[in-house]
Structure formats: structure tokens, C-alpha cells
Amino acid sequence: MTVAPTLPGAVTVRVPAKVNLELRVGPRRPDGYHALATVYQAVSLHDEVSVARWDDWEVVAAGPYAERIPLDGDNLAVRAARLVADRWQVDERVSIRIDKDIPVAGGMAGGSADAAATLLACDHLWGLGLDRDELAELAASLGSDVPFSLAGGNAMGSGRGEQLAPVLARGTFHWVFAISDTGLSTPQVYAECDRLRERDGVDVPEPHVSAELMAALRSGEPAALGAALHNDLEPAAFSLRPQLRELRDAGVEFGALGGVVSGSGPTVAFLTESHEASLDLSVSLAASDLCRDLRRAKGPVHGAQVVPAPRD
């Protein structure tokens, strides 16, 4: 997929997007974050991040969503590179090239993916030999979803989502992602969730992943997983963007086994029975004109991985 030219000596890392199969949002904590219980699955939409020595900090981007990310110190990839340099006292700077194929502000952890990829790329570029725990600790300090972008596969997340535990799962699942024109801001969606809960006088329990979802993953049965998909942020995403409810309902009517807003949205994830069923659903959704863009993907896939350098 490489679009931006890669500098000599660059280390390239391929990193997946995620979907939350289940997202339970608990009470707001004193630090402002919400306690979460979630199950992540890494899916085959990937960014590629290349890191090379350079005389200043630089980030360039290419690909369908490139124009929607910051190209300065606010980019999560730059923050990740600077964090590694500061922590291990590396007196070097890097140029970072992002081939962006993960939707931006779509609830698929695109920025977190780039941060995770950059951590791994810098570790390799500078020969630091960081172990999994060191990388995971750096990742958690950059954002709640960053540790999962490194790990990939299926995993349960607690705390703010950054504390990962393995999940017993079998099978490969076929997804259709309906992508919206404009993103939703994660803090805004959480604020709307709080507002709706307060308005409705909801007593918010500590969050737990359901036994139904865990059983569905163990069985590898797409129909069981489709029925178990759940996201506590969905009412807030629907409240801010009412057409997402229409989109979710349409996908299910067109034959999806389940449909759910991914993370804080606005991407809607549809689970299908098979590869063929995902093609059929894409055709129906494209004809409905309810979303801007449709992407098919399968999951689970690996987390961030170094791409072997091409031989001369």
C-alpha cells in the first residue's frame, strides 16, 4: 500500500484498526476518564508507518484519509517518537511517513494505531530492544487504545481500556464497516453519554463484559457474536448523529448478523456470515446511499508488526 516514498534506512510497521465487539462504560472516575470493560478485535484495515533518521521532527501522510490528520507535534505518531527519544535519551530526530488507510475519528483507533506503530518502529530503528512490558507501558501513557494496537488479535480491556487480558476465541469473522463523511469527537460522545444518563437518572454499575459475548467468541459462531455485539456509547452516538441509527437498522435489515457503532463512532460495524455475505451487504448498503464509504475486513489479525525491508 506504500504511497509516500520511504527514506533510506527507514523501519516500516504495519498496524491494524480495531472494533469494539462490546463496550461497557462505567461511572466517570475522579480523573475524568470512564471505567471501561471492553472486548477488542483487530481487523484488516491497516496503516503503514515508516520512521527514518532525519535532522528534525517531521510527519508526512498519504492515503485516503491523510488530509484529516495533524502534521505537527499534535500527531500521535510524533508524540510517540518523542516519548521514546526522551525516555531512552536518544539524541536523534525522525521523519515519520504515515500511509493512512484507517478512517480518522471513526472509532477505529486510527491515531492510536499510528502511535503504536511508531513506538515499535523507533524501538527497531534505534536498536533499543524494548520488551513487551516496556512497550505496553509507553503505549498506555499515550492513550487508552494504544496497547491494544500493539497487541492485536482479540483482547479484553479494563481500566480506561489500556489493561489487556487475553480472550479465548476461535474463527475468523467477516466485517463491513460503514464510514461517515465527518468524524465524531471521542470526548464529545462521552459527554453526551453522561448527559443522557443524568437526564434519565440511570444508576451506572461497574462495567463487566457479558458472558454471552465471551461464549460467542469461544464458539467461533458468527451468528452468536452478531447477537452479542453491544456498545454503551451507541445511544450517545445516535443522539449526536441520528442517521447512524437508520444506517445500523438498514444493515441489519439487509442481512447483517449484527450491527454496532464502533467505539465512539461514527463508523458502524456490521458482522456477516461469510466473505460472500460481506460482499452482498456492501452492495446493498452502497445502493442505499446511507454512508460515504464502505470497507470490508476480517478479524482477528495481528497487532503492529515490522514489515521486512525489501531485498535489493
Residue positions forming the annotated binding site = 103-113
Binding-site member from 5, 9, 27, 70 for ligand ATP (CB under 6 A): 70
**Please, which of residues 255-284 interact with ligand ATP by CB under 6 A?**
263-264
- CB-based contact 152:86 (threshold 8 Å): no
110 touching ligand ATP, by CB under 6 A:
yes
* Residue that the C-alpha cell 510527519 belongs to: 59
Binding-site member from 101, 145, 162, 234 for ligand ATP (CB under 6 A): 145
> Of the two residues 19 and 277, which places its CB atom closer to ligand ATP in the complex?
19
DSSP per-residue codes, 41-71: EEEEEEEEEEEEEESS-EEEEESTTGGGS--
- How far is Cα 41 from Cα 90, in angstroms, rounded to an integer? 34
Which residues are catalytic, by number?
18, 145
- CB-based contact 306:295 (threshold 8 Å): no
Question: Closest-CB residue for ligand ATP?
Answer: 111
178 touching ligand ATP, by CB under 6 A:
no
- Residue 283 C-beta: closest distance to ligand ATP, Å: 26
Q: Which grid cell is 141? A: 501513557
108 touching ligand ATP, by CB under 6 A:
yes
> Of the two residues 37 and 105, which places its CB atom closer to ligand ATP in the complex?
105
Stretch that binds ligand ATP, among 6-14, 66-74, 213-221, 277-285 (CB under 6 A): 66-74
251 touching ligand ATP, by CB under 6 A:
no
Binding-site member from 12, 41, 50, 75 for ligand ATP (CB under 6 A): 75
Burial class for 1, CB neighbours closer than 10 Å (0-12, 13-18, 19+): exposed
- How far is Cα 178 from Cα 262, in angstroms, rounded to an integer? 10
- How far is Cα 260 from Cα 267, in angstroms, rounded to an integer? 9
Task: Please report, for residues 233, 242, 265, the alpha-carbon distance to residue 188 in angstroms, rounded to integers and kept in the order given.
Answer: 11, 15, 11
Stretch that binds ligand ATP, among 109-117, 124-132, 218-226, 237-245 (CB under 6 A): 109-117
Pairing verdict, β 230-231 and 11-28: parallel
**Please, which of residues 24-63 interact with ligand ATP by CB under 6 A?**
none
Q: Residue positions in the annotated binding site for ATP?
A: 103-113
104 touching ligand ATP, by CB under 6 A:
yes
- How far is Cα 98 from Cα 75, in angstroms, rounded to an integer? 11
> Of the two residues 76 and 256, which places its CB atom closer to ligand ATP in the complex?
76
Residues 6+ apart with CB under 8 A from 311: none
What is the identity of the amino acid at 21?
L
What residues make contact with ligand ATP under the rule CB under 6 A? Answer: 69-70, 74-77, 98, 104-112, 114, 145, 186, 263-264
